[in-house]
């Protein structure tokens, strides 16, 4: 049975990084959009005045990410890229750090986005087993995985972002490809899963609340 208290964004195009970030933070990009829209209402519709109905307390959280914000981060990274001078007609769509149409953001966008929220991103040394990760750390937010995937009967190969987070004492696989969050029975099952995906070529990023 699906736990309705666990926020879970489903996969759309190649926006798995956006979904993974919001699943990690447990914040809805839709509610974030509504909050920012509400902030612009007095400008767009002056007749509403300052008393336009405000979103609920959940919707006023500003930690969530939107496609527009990640696009802006990617564009800034593109602008600062020393290779930006090598322009081709495809550069209009296939940017250095994302795809203009489908998303497909890279790890540089992820790190910049989380650091903007005062989070710390630590790469896990793949030579070490998952048991070396301190999953009981008080400052641990969760784990992000970048895993190799095959789609369309193996004809297309790519990589996919997945969030793992502990919520109310239960660790969940918040993969946007899943129909609902998948709880782990215990830490042994979680570390076994992490060791398995590392063995399949996954990269593991450990996310902490406080930026160092």
Q: Which residues are catalytic?
A: 16, 160, 175
Antiparallel, parallel or unpaired: β 156-167 and 203-208:
unpaired
Q: How many residues does the chain have?
A: 212
Chain CA centroid to CA 128, Å:
24
Contacts of 127 (CB under 8 A, 6+ apart): none
Place of tokens 């600062």: 80
Please, what's the b/e burial string for 119-158 (b: 16 or more CB within 10 A of its CB; e: otherwise)?
Answer: bbbeebeeeeebeebebeeeebbbbbbbbeeeeeeeeeee
Tell me the three state secondary structure of residue 97: coil
Instruction: Please tell me the distance from the alpha carbon of residue 69 to that of residue 90, in angstroms, as a whole number.
Output: 22
Q: Are 17 and 103 in contact (CB under 8 A)?
A: yes
The tokens for 94 are 């296939």
């Amino acid at each position: 049975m699906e736990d309705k208290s666990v926020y879970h964004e489903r996969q759309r195009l190649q926006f798995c990084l956006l979904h993974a970030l919001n699943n990690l933070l447990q914040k809805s990009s839709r509610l974030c959009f509504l909050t920012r829209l509400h902030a612009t209402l007095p400008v767009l519709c002056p007749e509403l005045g300052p008393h336009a109905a405000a979103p609920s307390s959940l919707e006023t959280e500003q930690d969530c990410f939107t496609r527009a914000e990640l696009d802006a981060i990617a564009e800034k990274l593109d602008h600062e890229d020393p290779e930006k001078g090598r322009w081709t007609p495809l550069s209009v769509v296939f940017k250095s750090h994302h795809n203009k149409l489908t998303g497909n953001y890279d790890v540089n966008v992820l790190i910049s986005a989380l650091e903007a929220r005062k989070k710390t991103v630590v790469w896990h040394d793949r030579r070490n087993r998952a048991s070396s990760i301190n999953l009981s750390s008080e400052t641990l937010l969760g784990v992000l995985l970048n895993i190799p995937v095959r789609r369309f009967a193996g004809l297309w190969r790519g990589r996919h972002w997945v969030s793992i987070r502990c919520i109310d004492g239960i660790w969940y696989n918040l993969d946007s490809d899943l129909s609902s969050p998948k709880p782990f029975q215990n830490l042994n099952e979680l570390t076994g899963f992490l060791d398995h995906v590392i063995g399949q070529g996954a990269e593991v990023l450990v996310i902490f609340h406080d930026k160092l």
